[in-house]
Structure 1
């Protein structure tokens, strides 16, 4: 862990590993927010013809299936990306 409180403003020392972890967490949160926003936008546009106060059964099923498909696709891309990163790191 970092010595001091890890805050640049207070003049504390920042551990590069801790900084990298913070950046990774922030990137993960941003990616999750982007995924949720894209999923919501795409599924809603595809499934809901006339927005109202609630979704009917077919709209609910469509949105659920769309979100499942989007998550499956996201996970497939993420696995391929991670696999590629591991191969590249192994070749360094």
Structure 2
């Protein structure tokens, strides 16, 4: 029974990670592309490429910070509930 529970927990974690990744990519496309590419063509200019890279870098760093803080919060709550 413990193995089945652990398998289910891992499956939920993986699905959550995939959903979060999809959400991040959607937000990057929505936010960075709209901000950096005024009129889309078949390729990006150097200024557009630089803008997209910088925007994505900032967004991913922010996402990483928030995710780590949230994970820490969940771990603390889990420990408190387990006591």
Q: Normalization by structure 2: what TM-score?
A: 0.88
Determine the C-alpha separation between the residues in 1 that align with 2:73 and 2:8: 24
User: What does residue 13 of structure 2 align with?
Assistant: 24
**Higher Rg of the two aligned structures:** 1
1:77 lines up with 2:66 in the alignment: yes
1:52-71: CA deviations, max 9, x gaps?
11100000000000000000
Higher relative contact order (CA 8 A, sep 6+): 2
Mean alpha-carbon deviation: is it higher for 82-91 or for 46-55? 82-91
Residues matched between the structures, number = 81
Shift of 1:82: 1.2
5+ residue gaps, structure 1? 3-13
Aligned pair 1:33/2:22, yes or no? yes
SS of alignment partner, residue 49 of structure 1 = coil
Query: 19-28 or 65-74: which moved more?
Result: 19-28
Structure with the larger helix share: 2
**What's the TM-score, normalizing by structure 1?**
0.80
Tell whether 2:46 aligns with 1:54. no
